[in-house]
Amino acid sequence: MTLVNLDETDSISSSILAKKRKIWNCWNYDKDEYVKEESSDQDTDEESDSDNGNKENVEYNDTASRLGELGQFVVSEECIRCDLKMYKPTNISSKSPNPNNIEQLIFRLLSKIASTYNLNENLKQQFFNDQYTLVAKLFSYDAYSSSEDTLEVAERIKKKLVSQKKTNLALTFQELETKFIKLKILKNHTAILEFFLAYYSEQNKYDSVSNKNSLALNSRLFDAPKINDQVQNNVIEGSTSSQKIYNLFKNDSTADLIRDNQRLKPTLILNETYILRELIYALQGVDGKIFQKDPKDMQTMILKVEMEKPVRMMVMRYLESGWFYGRLRRFLATYNNNPSAGLVLQAFCAYISTELKEYHRLLAVLESQLGDKDEGTECSNITLRRLSVWLEQPLERLKFLNIICDAVKDKKGGILLSTIFTYSKYGDANKAALVKSGLAKCAIPIRDMIIEWICDGQIRDIHEEFFVAFNNSIPNERLWHDKYNLRISQIPSFLSEDQAKKILIIGKSINFLRVICNEQKQIKAVTNIPSIESMLEQKTDTQFQDLIDQAYIDTSSYLIEILLKKYKLLDHFNSLRKYLLLGQGDFIRHLMDLMESELNKKAQELMFPNLQRLLDKAVTETNAQFEPSYIISRLDVRLLPPSPNDMGWDVFSLDYTMDGPLKTVFNSTIIQRYLRIFNFLWRVKRMEYITCSLWSSYKSDAEKLRKMPEIYEIIHQSNIIRSEMIRLVQNLNFYIMFEVLEVSWKNLCEQLDNSKDMDDVISANEQFLNTIITQLLLDENSKEIAKELRTIFDLIVKMSDLSEQFHKIALSEYEARKEFKEKCTDDMDEDQKTALDNMERKRYHGEVKPKIRNAKHQLQLLKNSFSEMVKNLLEALKNHPNESLRFLSFRFNFNEYYY
């Protein structure tokens, strides 16, 4: 390090540093005129006189018009634009020569330093070129404003000298330091020391004789302009500031630039190592001297200095990493440790933090490669071009992570995992591996929820991220149906819907056994927890799938076994078939016989205890008495809400009560559907009962009625109509019992045998009921046909009433005629017989014959109505979508009687 006399260089250094600190001030520029600002720096130099102690103050005035500058820097995620517009001021007046202007001060400083080397003229020219480049580089950025402690800077200088084994220089510097600090006339002690430290750090090739003849710098960012030896002081001092620089350091390229653009745009040279150090901070979103946050949005970085275009383009690319880094940090600040974010999103934030730690580790490595400026270990292993290789892959990773963060914003649970999983199928193998590693960490909370659910039936999901939903307000009797459900939207895309349903059934089965069946036995513990990879990559690893399948089989088979053996599920299915679906024929027939008198009453007149008593009697007098007590105890009577004009037949119904686990299979909705089927079958059975009763009543009195031809004719017509009705009812009853109930029952038994879980049992029962309801014309698509059928049933009931009334009239007429014959004896004279015969004729024509005529007319109307309704029924059945019902129309009209 070359030490120069501080007394001789203090004014030079102070003025240079003052000029250097003002070089980046931005000046206001008006659209119509330029605003010029002149600054004057006054430096007072106090020199001591050892003989008389007098002090002389020297004042240096430096008034120079400077270029107006407008610096604007924009940093965005795609590019960083750096524009430096420099406007040439007008109306520059010449000033008197000033030996302390910036050009003269630089020249005097370099001359003082060059004098210590004893250089010839040629080497001196080369020295000025190289040293000017070095000084310009040092003045191009604020490299000496970080410290305000003069002693600290002095210690750094001494430490550097000692580290280079220059102890004598260190001692000399310590002596000069004491004198230097005592010079109170100087105001910038720290800045002067920092300038000398930076200058010494940049050049060390003139310290020995061996390299005095090789004065090339280690790194030259551009060729320094040559000094024009013909330049006179009057030329320099009589020009503007920009012209002084141009005249003093003239080259062709600069002159052309001034001529073409009519303005000066100097290229400022930055220390590459210093830029790299500043970039390390900018890549972490930290403000430095070159790169600072834009005060408008505090998110992007802006440049504070002008750089060469190649350097600027590289820096622009590097700052993109810092912008992506800042966005990730803001994402973490928003969602990390946020209780409402959810476990999956917090796991994703933890993964982002891990990636950022790797990014920090890379920056630490880069910083270590740059060395320590204070320790004197600064090196140039890293350059701006080499930095692009180091940052290429981290930049792509940060960019891709930002894309994923934008996609998962405000999402949680399975939806978030599905979004990340889609990026794992990315074509770039590196990016796909990046996503897969993050997905593996994010899926851990969901994996743990699945394991806890299929092992213990427990859900801990306060953020509603799990695809199994739990509603604690639902009562336990609806546990299987409503308490646990699937959130379809939360099912991760790497799990199929079938797997999600199995997982749901496993946990529901465990809770059903524990809560409803009171079974506390643990089915089987999970010994090997599947890896995350087996859940994400099920095509190559079946460990997760095997665990789900095995747990599903174990829990479901155990639950089915409990229902069949402990709760006699099949026995209850069979009981419903016997009593609510009228499969127990002797019981149903005897029950109708016992309850006929009661059910013929008005609905409002029925007495529930009487009906209950008759039901118990029917049970004890038929084969139903051999049923187990847990079956018979559930059989009961139910009265439906009556409507006006309803008879007892219309509101009576059998009931079958369920409790415990059976109520899950046979819930209230299912029982209502069974009762709906029972009411229809009960009505059909009643029609059969009515038509058979008509035939039996006529059969018993047939011999009597044949003796009255005019009455028997009507009875004959009644028998014809009754036969049509019997045939229709019998065909309908045969269709119901053999083509609907028996076939459906067989299918139900097969499905129950193949049931794997509770849902299969419930589904089989529902399908069984749906089939019966559809084929019995009780569904929504058969409302019109059911209405036609009910009208036919009403006609049958009306036919029964009409036949009963006419049967009474016929029997009354038979008794009247029998009495007339008994009165006509042989001992009566002719006048008495004539009078008695006239009375009989008068009674017959006045009372009986109108009744016979009315009954005949009503029978004819009923016959026509019945035929018309049957034709409508057959026409509707022919167009029904159900094949069995279409075939029923051929059964009703097999002989083409109706059309």
663-669: long-range contacts, CB 8 A cutoff, minimum separation 24: 663/477, 664/477, 664/479, 664/480, 664/481, 664/512, 664/516, 664/758, 664/762, 665/563, 665/569, 665/758, 665/761, 665/762, 665/765, 666/572, 666/576, 666/765, 667/477, 667/478, 667/481
Task: State the DSSP string of 188-213.
Answer: -HHHHHHHHHHHHHH--SSSSGGGTT
Query: Computed over its alpha carbons, how large is the radius of gyration of the chain?
Result: 55
Q: Which is more confident, 286 or 298? A: 286
pLDDT above 90 covers a percentage of the chain that reads 37
Q: Which pLDDT value is given to residue 160?
A: 80
**What is the rounded distance in angstroms from the CA atom of residue 498 to the CA atom of residue 505?**
11
Instruction: Tell me the average pLDDT across 461-477.
Output: 90
Average pLDDT, rounded, for the chain: 76
Residue type for 764, please? A
For residues 791 and 777, the answer to whether their CB atoms sit within 8 Å is: no
- How far lies 306's CA from each of 22, 286, 302, 492, in Å? 15, 19, 11, 51
Token pair belonging to 238: 């009589």
pLDDT above 70 covers a percentage of the chain that reads 76
Cα torsion angle, 760, 766, 769, 775, sign: negative
Range of 178-187, 450-459, 527-536 with top mean pLDDT: 450-459
Orientation of helix 309-335 relative to helix 343-370, angle to 10°: 150
Q: Which pLDDT value is given to residue 202?
A: 58
For residues 463 and 342, the answer to whether their CB atoms sit within 8 Å is: yes
Neighbouring C-alpha atoms within 13 Å toward the C-beta of 181: 11
**What is the rounded distance in angstroms from the CA atom of residue 265 to the CA atom of residue 245?**
12
Q: How does 567-580 read in b/e, with b if 16+ C-beta sit within 10 Å?
A: bbbeebbbbbbbbb
Q: Which pLDDT value is given to residue 29?
A: 29
For residues 813 and 801, the answer to whether their CB atoms sit within 8 Å is: no
- How far lies 284's CA from each of 168, 289, 292, in Å? 42, 14, 11
Q: How does 656-691 read in b/e, with b if 16+ C-beta sit within 10 Å?
A: bebeebbbbbbbeebbebbbbbbbbbbbbbbbbbbb
Q: What is the pLDDT of residues 70-81, one digit of tens each?
A: 222 222 232 322
Check pLDDT > 80 for residue 755: yes
Instruction: Tell me the average pLDDT across 580-606.
Output: 92
For residues 96 and 64, the answer to whether their CB atoms sit within 8 Å is: no
Q: What is the pLDDT of residues 435-455, one digit of tens each?
A: 999 999 999 999 999 999 999
Residue 75 three-state SS: strand
Whole-angstrom distance between the N-terminal and C-terminal Cα of the chain?
127
**What is the rounded distance in angstroms from the CA atom of residue 479 to the CA atom of residue 507?**
11
**What is the rounded distance in angstroms from the CA atom of residue 729 to the CA atom of residue 721?**
12
Check pLDDT > 90 for residue 574: yes
Q: Which pLDDT value is given to residue 810?
A: 84
**What is the rounded distance in angstroms from the CA atom of residue 807 to the CA atom of residue 801?**
10
For residues 759 and 826, the answer to whether their CB atoms sit within 8 Å is: no
**What is the rounded distance in angstroms from the CA atom of residue 67 to the CA atom of residue 800?**
121
Q: Which is more confident, 300 or 894? A: 894
Query: Considering only 336-345, 356-365, 459-468, which range has the smallest mean pLDDT?
Result: 336-345
Token pair belonging to 257: 């630039």
Instruction: Tell me the average pLDDT across 235-253.
Output: 38
Label residue 264 by pLDDT band (50, 70, 90).
very low
Check pLDDT > 60 for residue 623: yes
Label residue 98 by pLDDT band (50, 70, 90).
low
Orientation of helix 668-700 relative to helix 758-775, angle to 10°: 40
Q: Which pLDDT value is given to residue 399?
A: 93
Q: Which pLDDT value is given to residue 99?
A: 53
Q: What count of residues does the chain have?
A: 899
Residue 325 three-state SS: helix
Check pLDDT > 70 for residue 522: yes
Instruction: Tell me the average pLDDT across 701-719.
Output: 81
**What is the rounded distance in angstroms from the CA atom of residue 482 to the CA atom of residue 476?**
9
Helix (H) or strand (E) holding 504: helix 497-515
For residues 215 and 130, the answer to whether their CB atoms sit within 8 Å is: yes
**What is the rounded distance in angstroms from the CA atom of residue 146 to the CA atom of residue 198?**
13
Check pLDDT > 90 for residue 708: no
**What is the rounded distance in angstroms from the CA atom of residue 442 to the CA atom of residue 431?**
16
Phi-psi region of 308 (alpha: psi -120 to 50; beta: other; left: phi over 0): beta
Q: What is the pLDDT of residues 123-151, one digit of tens each?
A: 777 777 777 766 665 555 443 434 446 77
Instruction: Tell me the average pLDDT across 47-52.
Output: 36
Check pLDDT > 90 for residue 42: no
Check pLDDT > 80 for residue 334: yes
